[in-house]
Structure 1
């Protein structure tokens, strides 16, 4: 049996789609899997059970990327073909079962929408990530210089409006890892992408060297997943890393402001979203708002609230 799985370019959406992929693999033992994804998210799928191929879909003018993908997959008869991009490519493929993500009716969390494709909108399959031995070994190596608990933080995001101020991350790290905090003396792992170094630097610089694990832009996604699976708590802005942490089943506190937690809150047995008192619409509804020049819109989310929520999650 063969499965074609066309998923998102964005890391967060791609992570959320892994629950559906895991469900289909579990329901069809031994199925051979081909994943089509954008350049940013494709590395997430390197450890998928039964993986035959990952096709990187690079966006091109006039939607030529879909034509190239069709040429790459049209010679195979697929037992199951899934399209989470609503590209219409499945119309022209031979497949026994075709699944296309529906358009949401009203406010529907992305995971519930994906679950509805297999009759599980009320109990959607939770995201999961698969990695290989080299990723496991690299994660172990990164932790080999010390022992004890690890607090992970993700102080970056894909635009400045979603970034909780760096000084707040510095304060929460200090309070949670203080002698009287819930993670006394814990090491701190700082996560972020290759182009997010400037956002993360103030947080990194504030952590004592002997307790600092700086992996911003230094490791691949699956090594990041393996490392995240070993931490005691992850606190971060709304981002793909937040969803990755939830997918490896560690406690996750996702911080929201000018983005929709009702659509993209982290999901998992130990995941929680905490947002600003204002809604997204209230935060971006002021005169002169410009997404490209605005600073942080997360300042009304206080450190005290985050400390309280984090402490409760660690009990």
Structure 2
């Protein structure tokens, strides 16, 4: 059997879509998989079982990326075509079963919506397949002492509006890793995109070199995923990295303001989210300049975030 899986340009949406891909991979062992997605998201699919090909789809004028995709797959027969971008592509290819997402339903979490699309009443958690080489690389980047806690922090996002102030992250990490904190003297992994390191600079400066690992585009996304698997907790803004952390099985706390947790909360085995005092609807009602990088997360206090973390770990004790 052969599957053509067309998914998002965006990393976070692509991670959520792996819940659908997981269903087909696990339902049809040995199914050969071709993934079409944006260049940023492409690396998370490199470990998919029986992967035949990843087709990167950088956006082009006048929908040229769709024409290019069609030309690259039109000569193949597809037992299953899944298009989570709602294009017409699935209908102009040779195939048996076609599954096309018509659009987003804001009454449901995206994972729940996609589960319904493929006939599942209980969604599968997103999954990123990681190989031995990436786990070995992660092992070399993190402390060899298994008793030492690892705290992963995602202090950036793709838009300044949903980026919690870096000063708050500094206070949060200082309190959590203090001698009387939840993770005393923990090793801290700070993560972000290559261009985002400067945003996190003041947090990085607070951490001794011996107690930090910095990953800002200098490691593969599968190595990042392997590091997240070894962390004790991940705390970060609503972002693709947050969704990767949730898929890793590590406790993941997402910080939300001008985005809907109802649709984009971290989805996994051990997740939670905390929101600004102002709801999404109130933030929107005040008016948003989507081109501005002004932070809209200032009324989310450090204390509120810490309370959510402690509540979660107290439940697990």
State the TM-score, normalizing by the size of structure 2: 0.95
Closer, same or farther: CA 105–58 of 1 in aligned 2, 3 Å: closer
Closer, same or farther: CA 39–79 of 1 in aligned 2, 3 Å: same
Q: Give the alignment of 1:56-71 within 5 angstroms.
A: 56-71=56-71
- C-alpha distance after superposition, 1:152-198 (max 9, x if no partner): 10000001110101011111111111111111111110010111111
| RMSD between aligned residues | 1.3
TM superposition outliers: structure 1 runs of 4+ over 4 Å = 144-147
User: Counterpart of 1:75?
Assistant: 75
User: Counterpart of 1:192?
Assistant: 192
Tell me, yes or no, if structure 1 residue 125 matches structure 2 residue 130: no
**Residue ranges of structure 2 left out of the alignment (5+ in a row):** none
Question: Could you tell me how far 1:105 is from its partner in structure 2?
Answer: 4.5
Count residues in correspondence: 313
**Residue ranges of structure 1 left out of the alignment (5+ in a row):** none
Question: Could you tell me how far 1:313 is from its partner in structure 2?
Answer: 2.1
Question: Could you tell me how far 1:124 is from its partner in structure 2?
Answer: 1.0
Tell me, yes or no, if structure 1 residue 178 matches structure 2 residue 178: yes
Residues 39, 58 of structure 1: 8 Å contact kept: yes
Residues 154, 235 of structure 1: 8 Å contact kept: yes
Residues 101, 113 of structure 1: 8 Å contact kept: no
State the TM-score, normalizing by the size of structure 1: 0.96
Partner secondary structure for residue 58 of structure 1: coil
Q: Structure 2: how far apart are the matches of 1:127 and 1:195? A: 26
Q: Structure 1: how far apart are the matches of 2:198 and 2:105? A: 39
- C-alpha distance after superposition, 1:76-119 (max 9, x if no partner): 11011100111100111111111111334452211111101221
Closer, same or farther: CA 207–106 of 1 in aligned 2, 3 Å: closer
Q: Structure 1: how far apart are the matches of 2:54 and 2:217? A: 22
User: Counterpart of 1:279?
Assistant: 279
Q: Structure 2: how far apart are the matches of 1:105 and 1:165? A: 31
Partner secondary structure for residue 164 of structure 2: coil
User: Counterpart of 2:258?
Assistant: 258
User: Counterpart of 1:296?
Assistant: 295
